[in-house]
Amino acid sequence: MKKILTLSAILLTTLTSFAQKTDTVVVELAKTSRMVFTIKDKSDLEQLRQYDFQAMFDDILNRLEKNDSVVVVVNPTAKTQTESGIVTESDVVTYSGTDDDDDNDDRDNDRNRHFYRYRTRHAFNVDLGLSSYLEDGKFPDEAGAAYAIRPWGSWHFGLNSVQRTPITNHFYMEWGLGVSWSIFRFQNDNTQVVKEDDGVAFEEDLRDVSFIKSKLGVTYLNISAVPMFSFGDERGGRKWRTYNSGFRIGVGPYAGYRIGSWARQVYKDEDGDRQRDRNRDNFYLNNFRYGLRLQVGVRSADFFLNYDMNELFATGKGPKLNAFSFGVTF
């Protein structure tokens, strides 16, 4: 294992240093063994850094044990021996093999896809959708509650840094860390959120002004872990280069910590001037949230649904509401 890791480091370092002035790098492995790298395009260096060399060497050794070997023939001209045992030359390398099958190229391409596929990759995602909440499984507006919200105007916005770890060909894990904003716009524009000693109250603002809108907003720092199943092909895609061309679905947990909350009213005063009253407070909102996240994707379209398993407000300090959000991910 240590030898393979050391060799991998030597290969990457050597390829980077010699790519500017040579096409071939030969690494002496043992008394009668050597490995040859030929670079025809310097842009390949970045992709080589992403290969799983451990898996590659394991595959090579397994093939050699089965006598499924490949012979590398090098034009023995202009060789220069270095102290590290690395031989370099500017001539073109010719490859020949002893495998009896005629589809060597296809198997090489499959191995390249294998080395690249089983590697954790990163992406930056944006969640955009709507926020709402349920009370005993029903929408509060069915009972005419003062905290009933409007579907349109209650936004959810999230910024997420996501790591994808493939486990099998059609199963992978998405690990996410991000920030989200859930905004609840009340059905009645003159609804006022008031924090009292025994809890939060939603009261009617009786001022003689023209109310435009009233909202409650919460900001969370979130983590998530969603196992995903993919039923598509592996041709690749814009975002992940794999698993992005077919149907995929997954459900997993998330948790969040409240880092901000506020209530805002927008109205026009007696002179017709637009005014904004903004009050920053915790309003007895729970500091922690946890729930389940559903992700569904088809080709380049991705959708999400977040449902909080715990209540939005602290026990006994507000209505028993479970928040949720849904929308698109891009």
Domain boundaries, the chain: 2-117, 125-329
User: Which pLDDT belongs to residue 78?
Assistant: 38
Q: Which residue has the tokens 């507006």?
A: 141
Question: What is the SS3 assignment for the chain?
Answer: CHHHHHHHHHHHHHHHHHCCCCCEEEEECCCCCEEEEECCCCCHHHHHCCCCHHHHHHHHHHHHHCCCCEEEECCCCCCEECCCCEEEECCCCEEEECCCCCCHHHHHHHHHHHHHHCCCEEEEEEEEEEEEEEECCECHHHHCCCCCECCCCCEEEEEEEEEEEEEECCEEEEEEEEEEEEEEEECCCCEEEEEECCEEEEEECCCCCEEEEEEEEEEEEEEEEEEEEECCCCCCCCCCCCCCCCEEEEEEEEEEEEEEEEEEEEEECCCCCEEEEEEECCCCECCEEEEEEEEEEECCEEEEEEEECCCCECCCCCCCCEEEEEEEEC
User: Which pLDDT belongs to residue 186?
Assistant: 98
Phi/psi for 230 (5° steps) reads -115, 135
What CA–CA distances, in Å, run from 168 to 77, 89, 233? Answer: 44, 40, 13
CA dihedral 124, 127, 133, 136 (to 10 degrees): -60
User: Which pLDDT belongs to residue 99?
Assistant: 44
User: Which pLDDT belongs to residue 83?
Assistant: 40
User: Which pLDDT belongs to residue 295?
Assistant: 97
Residue among 34, 49, 99 nearest 70 (CA): 99
Residue among 191, 210, 211, 217 nearest 202 (CA): 191
Per-residue pLDDT of the chain (330 residues; tens, 9 = 90+): 555 555 555 555 555 554 444 566 667 666 677 777 677 666 666 666 666 666 677 777 776 766 654 444 434 443 434 444 444 444 333 333 444 444 555 555 555 454 445 578 899 999 999 999 999 999 999 888 999 999 899 999 999 999 999 988 889 999 999 999 999 999 999 999 999 999 999 999 999 999 999 999 999 999 999 999 988 654 443 344 444 557 999 999 999 999 999 999 999 999 999 999 999 999 999 999 999 999 999 988 899 999 999 999 999 999 999 999 999 999
| Distance between CA atoms of residues 256 and 263, nearest Å | 20
pTM of the model: 0.65
| Distance between CA atoms of residues 175 and 165, nearest Å | 8
Asked if residue 154 lies in contact with residue 130, where contact means CB atoms within 8 angstroms, the answer is yes
